Structure 1
């Protein structure tokens, strides 16, 4: 199998969007981490007004994909006092549609995870091998598939322009963008399910896939990018506006090339990523999860990280504060923010002490399907 690019070749791929000057890549700043945190707050305030003036997309629809177990010590860092070693997270896809100034319609899928192939991520594959089938069925619930949800929404795969992930942990794109060679495990040379779609990714993450660090290896499937055509990707350097009320912000830390989706809706600005797994992790003082509020007070932490990988922890903390400063207050409960975790903490009887205080479950904007 052939890895489709080298680190140097990543710089030669085409890109997309309009650069956001108000938000810079603070992970490359010469300022110390504390100063970067103050700068992140200022940049968020500057970008809020600029972003709101771009308008709103035509619609945002949420689609549940899969609920699966995740170690409590990762999802809630060191803060949780829950007895359960695992909690549950629900991975959801956002379908975002907008109209460009020239009248062209665009469709973006945020977090369109192929969870059937995603289970072969080294960490989850090892966990599955150690878990009896009857027990796994208690923890894993499949709600729907990417293609099934699109059919329900009346969207043809050929209409999809962009695929976007906050980062490429667990992702296998073979069936979405196709490959250039026969794949033994699939028994075929898969054709692209989305023949016109491009994957928007930070150049840093695309380059990292070609030469993974040991801290990264349990969470990536580098073999799943072998034989993927390089032209399937649209790398970006930093933060860009894609369309009216739709932007991608570089938010490094959870992975070097992490990015967040930002959308402007009828209820204000939403931010989405997997930097945290619950909106209350941005305001732990309002959390009823065992241990969170006390831990945050004791350690003077204003956020609780999702920390399965700690590539650059201070950068991740600063990125979360940037997200926190951008998101508007929830209309359902103003104590919490319109931060929508791409994998959201979900209560389950199997995981005592991990039921969220508040959950969004969905972003709703524009015309919704019947």
Structure 2
């Protein structure tokens, strides 16, 4: 057994948040993918109207972790005409703080990747083995660590309540939530760095990880979940509001249990996930990236997917339209939306033809 639970036992784990009845699981909705797309637009518009009424978090801070190479054919699907086989993406952690209705302070870490151990994901491990060391050093830049960023913000590990990823590709959580047995590669049995934190994840993803499909295997590290404590997880089904202006919505497709972070801030609604890698992928008609606008027009595509795994492409497309409908226009450039890719396209001299037309770089919100 690779996990401390089976697919059927996932249902017995505790959950959290206030369920969002406005948003249903589109992948399970009746009708074909076109009908589900129409339903997603309607539901997103309804949630967009009601969500600001939940309030706003106290603050949102963006923390750069690592910039790394990623295949262009994955990140920009079939649309890019760049000559570079790789582009660069920057993984960032978001730190969100708010007060519950009873006054209790909460801290949520979104995408707190353990960069050191994430590199052992089968796809990236194989890529590193095949890439000369000097090329890796040029294309990979580590900006900061999860713990270093938290110390800078004055947040202790004990103060972290929630850990959230849009999905668990590449993630090794052992150092964050601890293990129940000795780990050979860690030379010990690590205690939880975040002893009070719970990992919020869709039940569908946990169930899927218990028996990975071949399409999924290059992107997960299943052995690292063998000895993690089951009680460290808070599975959710569908979409929930966690706090004032903080919601997690189910956006299946990129993986079966994909989810997105939605924030109501001083500049309006933001959405964050890895469903696309650039804000312009939601409005490709305004992109200057080679091929994007032309491809989107020729194929009548509203968005350009991040497609390293094509588990259910139509569902992912529909989920991105839901995200697109929710997000407000950027105040910096109204052609683009306040969609913050959890892995954002980043220009680099090594990757000609992949410099983004527009990028957010960070989210700033303070009450």
With normalisation by structure 2, the TM-score equals 0.99
Q: Separation in 2 of the partners of 1:351 and 1:220?
A: 26
CA contact (8 A) 2:61 2:94 kept: yes
Could you say which residue in structure 2 is the equivalent of 1:279?
279
Q: Separation in 2 of the partners of 1:237 and 1:2?
A: 22
CA contact (8 A) 2:179 2:191 kept: yes
CA deviation vs aligned residue, 1:270-294 (integer Å, no higher than 9, x gap)? 0000000000000000000000000
CA deviation vs aligned residue, 1:40-84 (integer Å, no higher than 9, x gap)? 110011001211100000000000000000000000000000000
Q: Separation in 2 of the partners of 1:179 and 1:15?
A: 21
Deviates more, 1:83-92 or 1:42-51: 42-51
Q: Secondary structure at the match of 1:269?
A: strand
User: Does residue 1:294 correspond to 2:331, yes or no?
Assistant: no
Which segments of structure 1 move beyond 6 Å, counting only runs of 4 or more?
none
Could you say which residue in structure 2 is the equivalent of 1:139?
139
Could you say which residue in structure 2 is the equivalent of 1:55?
55
Could you say which residue in structure 1 is the equivalent of 2:214?
214
Could you say which residue in structure 2 is the equivalent of 1:253?
253
Could you say which residue in structure 2 is the equivalent of 1:183?
183
Could you say which residue in structure 1 is the equivalent of 2:68?
68
Could you say which residue in structure 2 is the equivalent of 1:155?
155
Q: Separation in 2 of the partners of 1:174 and 1:331?
A: 39
Could you say which residue in structure 1 is the equivalent of 2:95?
95
Unmatched segments (≥5 aa) in structure 1: none
Could you say which residue in structure 2 is the equivalent of 1:333?
333
Written as runs of structure 1 = structure 2, the 5 A alignment for 1:1-370 is 3-366=3-366
Q: Separation in 2 of the partners of 1:100 and 1:3?
A: 32
With normalisation by structure 1, the TM-score equals 0.99
Q: Secondary structure at the match of 2:87?
A: strand
CA contact (8 A) 2:58 2:97 kept: yes
Please report how far the alpha carbon of residue 132 of structure 1 lies from its aligned counterpart in structure 2 after TM superposition. Answer: 1.2
Q: Separation in 2 of the partners of 1:298 and 1:10?
A: 43
CA deviation vs aligned residue, 1:282-325 (integer Å, no higher than 9, x gap)? 00000000000000000000000000000000000000000000
CA contact (8 A) 2:56 2:246 kept: yes
Q: Secondary structure at the match of 1:129?
A: helix
